[in-house]
Chains A and B, each alone.
Chain A
Amino acid sequence: MKKNTRIARILTAILALSLIAAACGGSDDTAELEIGSASTETTTANTDEPTAAPVQVSADEPDAPVIGFADEGCPTLTLATYDSFVVSEGLFKIFTDDTCIEVEQVAAGDAGQLVSSSILTKDNPTADVMFGIDNTFLQRGLDADLFLPYESALLASVDSVLQLDPEFRVTPMDYSDVCVNYWIDALPGAVPTTLDDLVDPVNEGQFVTENPETSSPGFAFLLATIAAYGEDGWEDYWRALVDNGLAVTPGWSEAYYGEFIAGGGDRSIVTSYASSPPAEVIFADPPVDSAPSGVLFDSCFRQVEFAGILAGTEFPSSSQQLIDFMLSAEFQEDIPLNMFVYPANGNAELPPEFVEYGVLADNPATLEPSEIEANRQDWIERWTEIVLG
């Protein structure tokens, strides 16, 4: 019996130690129970480097020497992305061959999870560069001081409309539109061309969208309606949608593959992406000649994705080179067929399927990132009351 009481005490001690370690480790980096490491931690970030002024890279090509920081040797950079980030094999090897910098990737769930976990691990980040924060989460990342500013020379090739941060803390990488799609052959009436057509009785019971709380395209569509009808009008619009037989699903795949014609459902109008019609052609089975679905341009909301150098990185100079590489035409041209979005670099060539079947709105709706972040919760709560209440 004695042995077992001793064991019980040891167990309690272990549990207690864990809690103490947690309490100490949680505050700042003076954790008393640091196991193992010598402290070459990067948590005391930015003691040498200026954070206020953006660093200028005076080079015309991406592989010209970088001025301004000490040589970092040939480090291995970690690139944090969301799960669905894909590039062709060998692409990063080109970068490594040019610069001797290795790139390792870490995937962290979807875009929302990526941002949340980056903010959580700010003091001891898992990566050097992040790819995948989008304009709806941008303000959150900026408010949390996640990034080191860097103005890449290649930004000259990027449309200024995409450069949402005047302080260059993030660099635009790609963009797409979230738009309402319709299945051409299944529409009950004329092809819808405006948002108002969705509340037209001829389209009753045809529209399905996603819950903005749990779905990124669903949220983008909500933002599109707010941008279109303003703070005073969007709630009435949604009431009208509900009266017209609106359906709502928790996520994109339930909407597209569950309710929409594409998946065997019976609704002909769905909130999806501008890149969905090209995808319907590329991945058609059996092959088709023309896109079976179309895009309602009036409903499009621009989504821009960014990359940024995380503030805790040990290799700011190398990270800058990685950003330059990802903004280069070579990398940008790889993006469309792998991730189904459009490249930010205007000089990048689009694949033929995108040229032929792809559509982009000329005038998509946008909202300021700061406005989105400030009102997000409020808007979602009010939406929930109107649509689900």
Chain B
Amino acid sequence: MKHLRGGGFALVPAVFVGVFFAYPIATLLARGLGIDASRLFDVVTGTRFLKTIWFTTWQAFASTMLTALVAMPLTWAVANRSFRGRRVARVLVTVPFVLPTIVVAGAFIAVMDSVGLEAGALRSRHTIWAILAAHVFFNIAVFVRTVGGFWTQLDRRPEEAARTLGASPLRTFREVTLPRLWPSIAAALTVVFLFCFTSFAIILRLGGLGRASIETEIFRYAISLNDISTAAALSMVQMVAVVALVGLNGWLQGRLKGRQGLVVDRGLPSTSARQRISLGVIVFGTAVLLAVPLVVLIERSFSHGDGYSFGNYAALTDRVRLLPISALRALGNSLTFAVAAAGIALLIGGLASLAIVHGSRGVSRLLDLGMLLPLGTSAVTLGFGVLIALDRGVLDLRGSWWIVPITQSLIAIPFVVRGVVPVLRAIDPKLRDAASTLGASPLVVRREIDLRIGSRALANGVGFAFAISLGEFGATSFVGRQPDTLTVPLAINRLLATPGDLLRGQAMALSVILMIVTTLVVLIGDRLHPSSGGML
């Protein structure tokens, strides 16, 4: 089987990740670990540290499992049934993803208050359930869009055959569909796990006190205690965990490799009346879960004075004295960064996916890991690494405009890769062979087969990249930035840091605008997709 210049695609992504990720991280680790090894040993073997690792791991695991559980019904509905509002459902699910965590935390707290969970001491409110719920809220999008997209393209004939042979729907799902879906599910869950593993703001704000994750500890050591060496050591632990997880995932995927037979378009059966009821329940139920915090947000953005009005939105066009630029300009900045980051993610992620699928095992594994690592790395480490590594000559990007979209794209690329690779891998090689036999050159095969079948997943991933960049806060605040490149999440954070109902109302209004913009972008992206023509 000819691997048509597969490895060649790997060069550009490898250089990108090498220069903007591996080099800064390695520099920081080298600097950090060189300083005080004995203190390091004390920290790493201490009980607090072990408790932290344990907590971080199990809450990430629980969040991931819960996300899969909650997202699966909606994913099934969106991928297998055509119903009114299907497209909207798929787009709406992405909205939580783009919101800054400080806003979501506030909305969650408000919801919990109104439902009566706030009484008593603080700790009864800040339970692990708040953290899990917030994680699910954020990550439903990853699961629904990644697995949903893959499922939409899955050839239904094996299922139909099983049903004809008398298998019940549940059995068909369990024994036929699930194994075929598994690569996509595993890919989505890996990303969700990493996201929850390195979650910072949610655990800090919703978890209350005494709940430390590795990420919050890294922050604590690096900033509060100015102890770079311990922070560097914790970063290494975090990365080791990521590598182990990715290795595990790769092993699991290897065991279930198979031809899933993807097609570009697949007709969806219409729904009977009875099915419509169960469908309605699923979609409505999930929608309510997602919608409640969002509705609270919207309600707060309109509350102005004693009643409701557009006052907060109108105020956004002027510069609030607290911000260096007007909120509208911040929105412009965010959008520009998002376009740049999405573009980078498209290019690098696309090339990397091709290299992973068509390259040799070594190249494939290495690149896959390299792409995924930034997601599992602390924003503190990344930011500080950039500060001390990219500081000379051509590479002195500190304080430059480009360092922001570049660091944002590092986090977004795994989403692209993890969405596209399972799709490409599932293409029946006979399809490519047939094209070659008919005279197509390797490049034409790539374009006509890989690109066309993979393009939906690619568009999906790029949509994610855009959303991630819009809502990104951590890495953006750690790399030095010109003040007039203020982004919306930073502006919201600033507005919420000073007393005054006016400012809070504006922060809420800004969040709602962010939600609307994301929704529009994702909607447009979905429509632009070549094979959409009425389908998702």
Interface residues on B, range: 35 or more
Name which residue of chain B comes closest to A19, CB basis.
B26
A250's contact among B204, B311, B500, B502, by CB below 8 Å, is which?
A: B204
Smallest beta-carbon distance B40→chain A, Å = 16
> From A87, which residue of chain B is reached at the shortest CB distance?
B324
Cα(A249)–Cα(B205), bound, Å: 8
Select the residue from A109, A140, A214 with max chain B CB neighbours within 10 A.
A109
> Is B399 in contact with A126, judged by CB distance below 8 angstroms?
yes
Asked whether B516 is an interface residue with its Cβ less than 8 Å from the other chain, the reply is no
Q: Which residue in chain B gives the minimum CB-CB distance to A387?
A: B209
CA distance A83 to B204 in the complex (A): 20
Which one, B15, B392, B481, contacts A106 given CB within 8 A? B481
**A113→B209 contact, CB < 8 A:** no
A217 CB to closest chain B CB (Å) equals 11
Question: With the chains together, A338 CA to B498 CA distance in Å?
Answer: 11
Q: How far is the CA of A6 from the CA of B7 in the complex (A)?
A: 9
Contacts of B360 in A (CB 8 A): 1, 4-5, 7-8
In the complex, what distance in Å separates the CA atom of A34 from the CA atom of B363?
28
| Shortest Cβ distance from B10 into A: residue | A7
B106, B393, B504: the one within 8 Å of A37 (CB): B393
Given contacts A279-B499, A283-B501, contact A121 B387 (CB under 8 A): yes
A264 to B508, alpha carbons, bound, how many Å?
15
A11-44 contacts to B (CB < 8 Å): 11-12, 14-15, 17-19, 21-23, 25-26, 31, 34-37, 41
Contacts of B374-425 to chain A: CB distance below 8 A: 383-384, 387-389, 391-396, 398-399
Contact A3 B500, beta carbon cutoff 8 Å: no
Task: Verify if A120 is at the interface (C-beta below 8 Å from B).
Answer: yes
Bound form: Cα–Cα A234–B142 in Å: 49
Q: Which of B11, B34, B319, B493 contacts A7 (CB 8 A)?
A: B11
A290 in the interface (beta carbon within 8 A):
no
- A residues in contact with B226, CB < 8 Å: 115-116, 119, 140
A251 proximity list for chain B (CB < 8 A): 204-205
- Which residues 65-103 of A sit at the B interface, judged by CB distance below 8 A? 78, 80-81, 83-87, 89
The interface residues of chain B lying within 8 Å CB-to-CB of A256 are 499
B233 at the interface (CB under 8 A from A): no
The answer to the question of B121 belonging to the interface, with a C-beta cut-off of 8 Å to chain A, is: yes
Q: Is B228 an interface residue (CB 8 A)?
A: yes
A86 touches B496 (CB 8 A): no
Judge whether A49 is part of the interface by a CB distance below 8 angstroms. no
| Stretch in B81-89, B161-169, B217-225, B464-472 touching the partner | B217-225
* B496 engages A84 (CB within 8 Å): no
Chain B residues contacting A26 (CB-CB under 8 Å) are: 27, 30-31, 34, 388
Partner of B499, one of A17, A262, A337: A262
Whether, in the assembled complex, B285 has its beta carbon less than 8 Å from a beta carbon of chain A, the answer is: no
Residues of A within 8 A of B14 (CB): 10-11, 14
- Would A112 and B223 count as touching, CB distance under 8 A? yes
Residue in B closest to A109 when the chains form the complex, CB atoms: B477
**Nearest CB of chain A from residue B346's CB, rounded to whole Å:** 22
Q: Most chain-B CB neighbours within 10 Å: which of A258, A272, A285? A: A285
CB-CB under 8 A from B19, the residues of chain A are 18
Which of chain B's residues have a CB closer than 8 A to the CB of A258?
106, 109
Interface membership of A257, Cβ < 8 A: yes
Q: With contacts A26-B34, A116-B226 known, is A121 near B388, CB below 8 A? A: yes
| A24, chain B: closest CB distance, angstroms | 9
Per-residue A-contact encoding for B140-177, CB less than 8 Å = 1, 0 else: 00000000000000000000000000000000000000
Q: Is the CB of B15 within 8 A of A14?
A: yes
Report chain B residues within 8 Å CB of A264.
110, 113
In the assembled complex, the CB of B13 is this many whole angstroms from the nearest CB of chain A, namely 10
A-B contact pairs, 27 of them (CB 8 A): A4-B7, A6-B7, A7-B8, A18-B26, A21-B26, A26-B31, A26-B388, A36-B393, A81-B483, A104-B482, A105-B482, A107-B481, A116-B222, A116-B223, A117-B384, A117-B478, A120-B384, A126-B480, A214-B204, A214-B224, A250-B208, A252-B497, A254-B205, A279-B498, A285-B305, A380-B224, A388-B210
* A-B interface, 3 closest residue pairs, ranked by CB to CB distance from nearest: A283-B500, A37-B393, A36-B393
18 more A-B residue pairs beyond the given contacts A11-B367, A257-B504, with a C-beta to C-beta distance below 8 A: A11-B366, A18-B23, A19-B26, A26-B27, A89-B319, A104-B399, A112-B224, A116-B222, A121-B391, A250-B204, A250-B205, A262-B499, A276-B499, A280-B500, A282-B500, A285-B502, A377-B225, A388-B209
Binding site for B on A (CB under 8 A): 1, 3-8, 10-12, 14-15, 17-19, 21-23, 25-26, 31, 34-37, 41, 78, 80-81, 83-87, 89, 104-109, 112-113, 115-117, 119-121, 124, 126, 140, 208, 211, 213-214, 245, 247-254, 256-259, 262-264, 272, 276, 279-280, 282-286, 337-340, 376-377, 380, 388
